[in-house]
Structure 1
């Protein structure tokens, strides 16, 4: 049974206020994915990427939507107890009573924020991003999922989290069937997360990790909803290998949301199975 290492697991339904570590600290190329709901009675909430898990430390990025009649989103930083100059937009991407998905992408310039797949703002770095090693969430929002991808130190001795991204960029609601090249191929500690829902009346679907243009499939994941089976296999040299079907519980059920986290072993080209783990989440 595949057991995710520290920091790999998403945080589900955290109590607010929430403070948690970002393993290995932030660096360019990482992303943070947050899913939640905006209550009808909300006044404001905040997301801080900060230097340390303690109160009063420096904040590299402060994200603060305010619902006060002049709805706006405020961006800022705090150093040595002093807030910097505010940046703000009156384009409010959040709606009361609605669910949201936001991604904070860390790049060379700063923190690029997207909400529900739409770019909102880029806040340039004011504090060296390598100092930022904690996430704090406060206020009135209801948070359901927090995921971090690209974590751990540059030597790769620890994994930081997961997020539905490809080459650092999230892919929202891709058309199915869908095919994309994995930049650099699968390798040790590279993680891919596929998040979706099994619609009512669904029969089956598949996720394939293919080997270049050869037609070989290193890992074939085939949930068969009506049959209540989860088939795993590989396809090598024009032939299917021996199926694996044994599972203690079928994680793919009609009407259920899921995410599938797949971690590379570095042995794909030799057709070794890729470990996977399935999580339920609340939409």
Structure 2
């Protein structure tokens, strides 16, 4: 079970057809980020933004790629059971048998669609975005992750984000403020979500009061509340999101930074501080390094070194110029060529807890005693980074 900071619950590998809520609705600056794969024998699929949570709800955005010899993408709306006039785009941004990353950005004018980092189309609003309550996906497509990002979507979350959310979402309205969009064909890799979705059993009455959906109460593996999540959220995310004592995400995300990456950590590390890193391991990769440093001394308090060809993740520290004892024990290795990863690194009183793709990967106990002096993040090696959020 992925133990995530509030406002960061990606939906992993949902069953298709999928129908789930968008808690807090849509507003300007919100983005919906979808990773998936197009099967080789596709005919068509669709993604709908719906004004309710049932299949009969009005559809504010119908996005419908059709592979029928004259490939096209059809946009439309449906109100009171009646379809509007179709917008047909006679080019196909998806390829059969290939992975894709897609972002739907909500603007005042309409829905801006990006596929694999490229602008595709803007569909003008016909139904007010404030009426949208759900997301529906069906047809010939498999989905790896769905994320809802930004736009101040803290509403249904019991106060997750300080200040009611992430503000305007994308600085510079995406594109210009993001260093020219998505280099290397990587999508936005963005991951601040506010729902877990109705996956097989309902939300148990929304956020306060438990997550439902087969996620019952359960203690955090490891048990100590200094590092665990308040409310015993771990093995099964039970309890509730009390809100006030949950750690929040702060600051603007960094999209598609060049690697090597080096930057100060705003405010340094402190208990419950969580850093989200999303990216992809390119084909031919050998190894990468993620270092948490004390900038004044250049000591490496936490060194994480996935070695792709060896299939291991080495952890260590370098203090006073000397490397410490390597740690290599791990239940699995998610860092493989051509694979996307979604990593959450959480600072506790005794240790860092690292989760990748929804799975607890390892703990690294602090070797640098004053962990609040850790104030710099460096990433280098064979990796493409699409998203960093402190």
| C-alpha RMSD of the superposition | 4.3
Cα distance in 2, alignment partners of residues 125 and 141 from structure 1:
25
Give the match for residue 79 of structure 1: 79
Structure 2 regions of 5+ residues with no counterpart? 166-187, 192-251, 360-390
Q: Summarize the Cα distance change of 1:185–1:48 in structure 2 as closer, same or farther, 3 Å threshold.
A: farther
| Stretch moving more, 150-159 or 58-67 | 150-159
Where in structure 2 are the equivalents of 1:6-45 lying within 5 Å? 8-45=8-45
Give the match for residue 189 of structure 2: 164
SS of the residue 1:97 aligns to: coil
| Stretch moving more, 98-107 or 183-192 | 183-192
SS of the residue 1:77 aligns to: strand
Kept in 2: contact 1:47–1:136 (CA 8 A): yes
Q: Does residue 278 of structure 1 match 2:361?
A: no
Give the match for residue 281 of structure 2: 197
Q: Does residue 260 of structure 1 match 2:338?
A: no
Where in structure 2 are the equivalents of 1:133-172 lying within 5 Å? 133-150=133-150, 151-153=153-155, 157-158=159-160, 164-165=189-190, 167=252, 171=256
Q: TM-score, normalised by structure 1?
A: 0.72
Kept in 2: contact 1:60–1:126 (CA 8 A): yes
Question: 1:152-193: CA deviations, max 9, x gaps?
Answer: 428872489xx723957853xx64313568899999898634
Where in structure 2 are the equivalents of 1:59-70 lying within 5 Å? 59-70=59-70
Question: 1:11-51: CA deviations, max 9, x gaps?
Answer: 33322211122232222222222222222332211001112
Kept in 2: contact 1:262–1:274 (CA 8 A): no
CA drift of 1:222 comes to 1.2
Kept in 2: contact 1:251–1:278 (CA 8 A): no
SS of the residue 1:130 aligns to: helix
Give the match for residue 176 of structure 1: 259
Structure 1 regions of 5+ residues with no counterpart? none
SS of the residue 2:97 aligns to: coil
**Which has more strand, going by share of residues?**
1
CA drift of 1:54 comes to 0.6
SS of the residue 2:130 aligns to: helix
SS of the residue 2:3 aligns to: coil
Where in structure 2 are the equivalents of 1:112-127 lying within 5 Å? 112-127=112-127
CA drift of 1:118 comes to 0.9
SS of the residue 2:54 aligns to: coil
SS of the residue 2:155 aligns to: coil
Cα distance in 2, alignment partners of residues 111 and 186 from structure 1:
37
SS of the residue 2:288 aligns to: coil
In the alignment of these two chains, the number of paired residues is 269
Cα distance in 1, alignment partners of residues 350 and 24 from structure 2:
29
Cα distance in 1, alignment partners of residues 26 and 52 from structure 2:
12
| Stretch moving more, 217-226 or 123-132 | 217-226
Q: Does residue 47 of structure 1 match 2:47?
A: yes
Kept in 1: contact 2:316–2:323 (CA 8 A): no
Cα distance in 2, alignment partners of residues 134 and 3 from structure 1:
24
Question: 1:79-108: CA deviations, max 9, x gaps?
Answer: 332323322210111122322221112233
CA drift of 1:224 comes to 4.4
SS of the residue 1:78 aligns to: strand
